[in-house]
Amino acid sequence: MEGIVKDQQELLVQIKDREQELERVHEYMNDLQRINFIYQPVKDDFTDKKLAEFINNNHSHGKASLFFVREQEGIYTYGKKRLFIKVENDQVIVRVGGGYETIDRFIENHCPFEVRKKQKL
């Protein structure tokens, strides 16, 4: 029983650390919005290079594209959402539900919600 309590306490500490890290990421994202940002892709990651092209060359979404943070190959966060992104037919697509949608459509559908969530922080 004592071991279970200790494990639970360790998990609570890990959760608190994760929440603090997310807070730092959100603060960093806010700072990025205030400067002229160029997304630098990870070398030898084709998907990340295509996402960088989109972010750096597509100004129709403004700073909304800055919410993308690479975790590992093909896995990103966008605000607080975890995403699976791939390139198909030379187009960046995002997994949504049981299918995929273009990155443009994804930002159009999800950005306003993410911006409102960020403003509440």
pTM, 2 dp: 0.63
CB under 8 Å to 15, separation ≥6 — which residues?
none
Query: What is the per-residue pLDDT for 109?
Result: 83
In the predicted model, is pLDDT for residue 106 greater than 60? Answer: yes
> For the chain, what are the domain ranges?
2-120
Angle at 23 between CA 7 and CA 42, to 5 degrees: 95
Domain 2-120 architecture? 2-Layer Sandwich (3.30)
Mean pLDDT over residues 30-55, rounded?
Answer: 84
pLDDT in tens, 13-24: 999 998 888 888
pLDDT (0 to 100) of residue 71 = 95
How far apart CA 90 and CA 20 sit, in angstroms, is 37
